[in-house]
């Protein structure tokens, strides 16, 4: 067989998997491992699983009991949000999807004003929909939960962290000593404290210090704490991008008579953010996963709801089902995020290449 | 001159007001005032413990401790649904109580001297006598922990349970082999697979774990306790009237069971009972509710809406629940248990 010549399916299989005795051994070992792990797993998850029924007693032994997920699906999605008000969560979800669409669709007419409306208007609208007031019945944050809460904390934590992170990164490179020092202190403080400690402090210490009667919402405290930590990480990610921009560009901008903010807005930040986009996405994905830490202060995010489900005696013992389902949702969310950021990068790469190609 | 007149008038008014308060025998209760203004009790519960505090499929909080919170709401506000639950983790429970985020804790917290003396909290009676015991297979015919001579017991290494069990058997010269595992889950799995004759933990926790075994009905929880971990509602120091209310609502539920008052017969008992204690409990005599600053039908509301202690116990952890935990130590003192209330006199 000549190297590089096209081979038929069977030939390809032989060439790839059974070319040498060592390859044969490795292939057989892998097949054996798959046989002993994947097959029982599939049997348990799919073939022997029970999907219909009303309680744990309807479930066949030896298979997964997905009845739990069916019975409590709404809780996994909405937590204890009142059933009659759940349309508001769906509406807020649509708002989020719309915001992402506006941010992604480059050729949209009136993109500038639309984007501004999405960035400044939608978050306010979202809080109003979810929390209520001004005509909508108030739904206290204590009944929020499940996927909706995880997404809420990620989105609002991110909305706090990204702009703050960019400002801190700029502040860290500022020529004004006081701004530089304050930025460094902020970044190093929040980077140095474990997130779980921040959540504890926000949830337990603040109410003890504050005069009674003045209370910031428990969830808001957790989101702000998370946002600050992630902002510090974001700042370092953005700093990496800023440092990659040659000093000459700033000097050229200064020579053209551009001030600090125009230089940053038109020349430095667009390039720096493009460079640091993968790192920013990483931080955002870690934010999504770090939201699970709020469980230590008894906020029922998706993981909390998964755990709450199996403390119901009617569903006791279905730990695997509950955790696998929650884990699968986390994976889908984080995987989608990483694909989206990959697509953004690719588009920016294309755009960056255009001038030299044309 | 005018100032003196005003001063005297103010003094007189103050004296009159304090004399009035004294006559009513009602100390101010900021917590009760806050509860009434809010229209709901803020109750700190466990964030998920089978039978004691958990959210059911409809998202409603359910369990023995949760029932107590509902009973308190029925007594104070006349409506058992007027209660807001704050789920709390082990680390959170004291700060949320101390900082005033909740009006009380009802969350499986063991009453100990050092907590009472140092944390600024008071324990208002006992709603569950928790204690370490053993789960064994029904076919071994062990009726008591003393029957475990020659048995093997699975425990998590280094746990309080391991030490308690070892000490308890050593004191009684019983030859028991203790098998250590890394974690509780491993120990219970080993017990389920037949590695050991018994597994040990708190009786409430065992009830939750028994139903996770392959065939729960083949296992029985022994009712003698080898440790003493009583649990009950907890309040902050200060506000004695609120503490009285919290304590006597629990006492009232126990008294109702002892007097045979249930949610089913409470209307009939209220109308017809000849027993003076029943009449005082249900508010037809004595004006007991008013002495706490509540309406006189406070305990009537509790029993009508939530039930007496037995009804709550059987529904949440007892025979009416999946846990099927016998009353054991949580039986009335008149029936061989430890559950006790001073009289309504």
Give the domain CATH number at A177. 1.10.3720.10
Q: Which helix (H) or strand (E) holds B153?
A: strand B152-156
Residues B235 and B328 in one domain: yes
pLDDT at A89: 94
Q: Which helix (H) or strand (E) holds A38?
A: helix A21-42
Chain A, residues 39-68, CB within 8 A of chain B, namely: 61
A311, closest residue in chain B (CA to CA)? B50
- The list of chain A residues with pLDDT below 70 reads 1-7, 211-215, 351-358
Q: How far is CA A109 from CA A68, A98, A106, A112, A272, in A?
A: 46, 15, 9, 9, 27
Residues B186 and B315 in one domain: no
Phi then psi dihedrals of residue B336, to 5 deg? 95, 5
| Per-residue tokens: A348 | 């920016």
Is residue A179 in a domain? yes
Domain boundary among B201, B227, B253: B227
Q: Which residues of A touch B315 (CB under 8 A)?
A: none
Domain boundary among B164, B193, B227: B227
Is residue B10 in a domain? no
Residues B144 and B254 in one domain: no
A144, closest residue in chain B (CA to CA)? B59
Is residue B18 in a domain? no
pLDDT at A274: 86
Residues B77 and B125 in one domain: yes
Q: Which helix (H) or strand (E) holds A31?
A: helix A21-42
pLDDT at B16: 47
Residues B240 and B308 in one domain: yes
Is residue B289 in a domain? yes
pLDDT at A358: 36
Is residue B12 in a domain? no
**Total domain count for chain B?**
2
A203, closest residue in chain B (CA to CA)? B92
Is residue A253 in a domain? yes
Residues B252 and B206 in one domain: no
Q: What is the rounded distance in angstroms from the CA atom of residue A268 to the CA atom of residue A263?
A: 6
Chain A, residues 290-319, CB within 8 A of chain B, namely: 295-298, 300, 304, 307-308, 311-314, 316-317
Range of the domain at B40: 30-129+230-335
Does residue B165 contact residue B177 with C-beta atoms inside 8 Å? Answer: no
Phi then psi dihedrals of residue B29, to 5 deg? -130, 90
Range of the domain at A183: 73-81+139-357
Question: Kind of pairing, strands B177-181 and B152-156?
Answer: parallel
Domain boundary among B227, B259, B283: B227
* β-sheet bridge partners, residue B136: B198, B220
Residues B324 and B241 in one domain: yes
The minimal CB distance from A208 to the residues B50, B59, B98 is found for B98
Residues B223 and B242 in one domain: no
pLDDT at B119: 93
Q: Where residue B306 sits, what CATH number does that domain have?
A: 3.40.190.10
**Total domain count for chain A?**
1
Residues B239 and B214 in one domain: no
Is residue B161 in a domain? yes
pLDDT at B343: 94
Q: Which residues of B touch A311 (CB under 8 A)?
A: 48-50, 54, 208
Is residue B342 in a domain? no
- The list of chain B residues with pLDDT below 50 reads 1, 16, 19-23
Residues B34 and B120 in one domain: yes
| Per-residue tokens: B198 | 């018994």
How close does chain A come to B92, measured CA to CA in Å?
7
Residues B282 and B326 in one domain: yes
Is residue A31 in a domain? no
Is residue B268 in a domain? yes
Residues B38 and B166 in one domain: no
């Amino acid at each position: 067989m000549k190297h590089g010549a096209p081979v038929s399916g069977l030939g390809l299989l032989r060439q790839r998997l059974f070319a040498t005795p060592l390859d044969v051994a490795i292939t057989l070992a892998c097949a054996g491992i798959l046989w002993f792990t994947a097959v029982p797993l599939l049997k348990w998850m799919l073939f022997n699983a029970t999907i219909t029924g009303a309680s744990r007693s309807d479930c066949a032994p030896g298979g997964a009991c997905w009845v739990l997920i069916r019975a409590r699906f709404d809780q996994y999605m909405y937590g204890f949000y009142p059933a009659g008000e759940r349309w508001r969560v769906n509406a807020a979800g649509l708002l989020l999807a719309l915001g992402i669409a506006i941010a992604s669709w480059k050729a949209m007419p009136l993109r500038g004003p639309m984007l501004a409306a999405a960035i400044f208007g939608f978050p306010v609208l979202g809080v109003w929909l979810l929390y209520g007031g001004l005509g909508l019945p108030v739904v206290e944050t204590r009944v929020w939960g499940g996927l909706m809460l995880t997404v809420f904390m990620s989105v609002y934590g991110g909305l706090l962290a990204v702009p703050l992170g960019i400002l801190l990164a700029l502040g860290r490179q500022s020529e004004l000593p006081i701004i530089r020092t304050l930025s460094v202190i902020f970044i190093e403080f929040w980077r140095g404290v474990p997130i779980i400690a921040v959540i504890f402090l926000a949830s337990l210490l603040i109410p003890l210090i504050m005069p009674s009667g003045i209370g910031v919402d428990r969830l808001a405290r957790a989101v702000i704490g998370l946002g600050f930590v992630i902002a510090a990480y974001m700042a370092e990610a953005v700093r990496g991008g800023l440092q990659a921009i040659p000093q000459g560009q700033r000097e050229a901008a200064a020579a053209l008579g551009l001030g600090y903010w125009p230089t940053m807005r038109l020349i430095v930040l667009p390039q720096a953010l493009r460079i640091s986009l993968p790192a920013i996405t990483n931080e955002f994905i870690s934010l999504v996963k770090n939201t699970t830490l709020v469980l230590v202060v008894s906020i029922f995010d998706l993981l909390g709801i998964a755990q709450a489900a199996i403390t119901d005696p009617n569903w006791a013992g279905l730990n695997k089902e509950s955790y696998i389902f929650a884990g699968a949702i986390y994976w889908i969310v984080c995987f989608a995020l990483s694909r989206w950021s990959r697509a953004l990068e690719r588009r920016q790469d294309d755009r960056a290449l255009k001038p030299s190609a044309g | 001159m005018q100032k003196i007149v005003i001063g005297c008038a103010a003094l007189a008014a103050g004296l009159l007001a304090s004399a009035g308060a004294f006559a009513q025998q009602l100390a101010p209760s900021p917590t009760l005032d806050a509860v009434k203004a809010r229209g709901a009790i803020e109750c700190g519960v466990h964030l998920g413990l089978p039978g004691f505090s958990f959210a059911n499929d409809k998202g409603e909080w359910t369990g023995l401790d949760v029932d107590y919170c509902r009973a308190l709401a029925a007594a104070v506000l006349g409506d058992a649904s007027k209660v807001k639950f704050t789920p709390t983790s082990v680390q959170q429970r004291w700060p949320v109580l101390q900082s005033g985020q909740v009006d009380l804790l009802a969350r499986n917290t063991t009453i100990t001297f050092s907590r009472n003396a140092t944390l600024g909290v008071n324990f208002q009676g006992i709603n569950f006598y928790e204690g370490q015991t053993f789960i064994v297979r029904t076919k071994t015919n062990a009726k008591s922990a003393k029957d475990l001579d020659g048995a093997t017991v699975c425990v998590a290494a280094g746990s309080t349970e391991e030490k308690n069990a070892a000490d308890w058997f050593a004191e009684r010269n019983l030859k028991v082999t203790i098998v250590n595992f890394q974690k509780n889950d491993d120990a219970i799995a080993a017990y389920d697979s037949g590695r050991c004759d018994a597994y040990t933990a708190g009786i409430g926790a065992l009830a939750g774990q028994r139903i996770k075994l392959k065939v729960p009905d083949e296992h029985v929880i022994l009712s003698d306790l080898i440790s003493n971990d009583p649990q009950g509602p907890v309040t902050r120091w200060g506000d004695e009237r609120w503490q009285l209310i919290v304590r006597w609502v629990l006492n009232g539920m126990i008294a109702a069971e002892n007097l045979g008052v249930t949610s089913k017969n409470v209307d009939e008992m209220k109308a017809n009972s000849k027993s003076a204690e029943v009449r005082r409990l249900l508010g037809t005599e004595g004006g007991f509710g008013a002495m706490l600053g509540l309406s006189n039908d406070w305990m009537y509301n509790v029993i009508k809406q939530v039930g007496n202690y037995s009804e709550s116990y059987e529904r949440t952890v007892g025979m009416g629940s999946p846990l099927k935990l016998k009353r054991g130590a949580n039986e009335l003192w008149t029936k061989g248990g430890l559950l006790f209330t001073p009289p309504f006199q």
